[in-house]
């Protein structure tokens, strides 16, 4: 496809995200303002070459410029739309990598959004998310769209169909606390954490989890945070992953003791996310989570975070 190049160079920011929120495996996520990535994308007429020429920022050391979610996502677009362009990427990595904060998804989301702003392709939000989700193959072995949807659209996202891809996004309230253990995780962590999941689920567990998901969504969508918090419980996916998460039980217990309304694994972990009503309460929960990590001999950081906007142009 011959493309008319509207602009040559653009910088897009995309925020981190927390997927699942307990029972919403692969279908629920929230974009959070705790961390963001920025990607500067330049295009010129060419043959579809994609090059990462700069990776900087506090978490740049864990980004492989040759093997990156952004590259996979852009390759997918270039091939799908047969775009006759070369693309150059400069990545500013502000999201911790491999810790369950949708880091790879945010880079892919920012890159795809940038290309779409520059070339007009992909033109629909669904196509954009589909392409960014393709990037997730690099770390997860298969595409999943929860993190990328949150980074693209912002707020709370609900994926209600994958074929065809359909996502709804909502502005929500609430104040979240992220407990982030500073541990090394393998490059294919998400793939690994998906490999431990059960292939089949007992009906009664399915019913219980569905009731939690309903509580989560009713609560978040009506602003009833107590109900939302009670909905952040997952006895299927999170239960299978919990034994692999450092200090999981202790951090969860102490977050609840400090007043958290709900606590869940953030994405595939190892970070843990708690919900609170206010910043004052969130600060108390954050301090309790940090002490819990210390009691396990782990260095950790905590962040108070609010729902963030979607990927957007910061410099054109
Ligand atoms: N929903 C995905 C998972 C998110 O839990 O595997 C991974 O970031």
The Å distance, Cα 171 to ligand 1 centre, comes to: 21
Q: What digits encode the pLDDT tens for the residues 228-264?
A: 999 999 999 999 999 999 999 999 999 999 999 999 9
Domain boundaries, the chain: 9-172+307-315, 175-305
Separation of alpha carbons 199 and 137, rounded Å: 20
| Mean pLDDT of all residues belonging to the chain | 94
Tell whether omega for the bond before 168 is within 30 degrees of 0, i.e. cis: no
Active site residues: 136, 190
CB of 191 closer than 8 Å to CB of 140: yes
Q: 234: Cβ below 6 Å to ligand 1?
A: no
Question: Closest residue (by CA) to atom 1 of ligand 1?
Answer: 26
Query: Which residues in 6-81 belong to E strands, given as ranges?
Result: 9-20, 24-45, 50-56
The Å distance, Cα 206 to ligand 1 centre, comes to: 18
CB of 16 closer than 8 Å to CB of 30: no
CB of 97 closer than 8 Å to CB of 63: yes
pTM of the model: 0.95
Separation of alpha carbons 247 and 296, rounded Å: 6
Taking the mean position of all CA atoms in its chain, how far away is CA 225?
21
Q: What digits encode the pLDDT tens for the residues 16-62?
A: 999 999 999 999 999 999 999 999 999 998 999 999 999 999 999 88
Question: Closest residue (by CA) to atom 4 of ligand 1?
Answer: 267
At the top level of CATH, the class of 175-305 is alpha beta
Structural domain 9-172+307-315, CATH architecture: 2-Layer Sandwich (3.30)
Closest CA to 10 of 150, 122, 110, 125: 110
β partners of residue 170: 156
């Amino acid at each position: 496809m011959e493309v008319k190049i509207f602009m040559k160079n653009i910088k897009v920011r995309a925020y981190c995200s927390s997927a699942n929120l307990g029972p919403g495996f692969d279908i629920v996520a929230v974009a959070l303002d705790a961390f963001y990535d920025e990607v500067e994308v330049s295009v010129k007429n060419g043959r579809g070459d994609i090059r990462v020429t700069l990776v900087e920022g506090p978490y740049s050391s864990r980004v492989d410029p040759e093997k990156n979610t952004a590259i996979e996502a852009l390759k997918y677009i270039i091939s799908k739309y047969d775009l006759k362009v070369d693309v150059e990427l400069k990545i500013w990595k502000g999201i911790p990598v491999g810790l369950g904060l949708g880091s790879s998804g945010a880079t892919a989301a920012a890159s795809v959004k940038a290309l779409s702003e520059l070339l007009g392709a992909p033109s629909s939000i669904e196509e954009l998310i589909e392409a960014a989700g393709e990037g997730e193959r690099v770390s997860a072995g298969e595409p999943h769209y929860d993190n990328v949807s949150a980074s693209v659209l912002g707020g709370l996202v609900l994926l209600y169909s994958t074929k065809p891809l359909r996502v709804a996004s909502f502005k929500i309230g609430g104040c979240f606390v992220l407990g982030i253990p500073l541990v090394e995780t393998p490059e294919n962590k998400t793939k690994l954490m998906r490999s431990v999941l059960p292939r089949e689920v007992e009906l009664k567990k399915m019913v219980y989890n569905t009731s939690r998901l309903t509580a989560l969504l009713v609560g978040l969508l009506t602003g009833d945070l107590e109900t939302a918090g009670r909905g952040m419980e997952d006895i299927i996916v999170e239960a299978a992953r919990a034994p692999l998460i450092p200090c999981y039980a202790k951090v969860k217990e102490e977050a609840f003791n400090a007043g958290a309304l709900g606590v869940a694994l953030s994405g595939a972990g190892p970070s843990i996310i708690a919900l609170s009503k206010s910043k004052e309460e969130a600060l108390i929960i954050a301090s309790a989570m940090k002490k819990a990590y210390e009691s396990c001999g782990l260095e950790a950081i905590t962040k108070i975070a609010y729902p963030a906007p979607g990927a957007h142009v910061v410099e054109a």
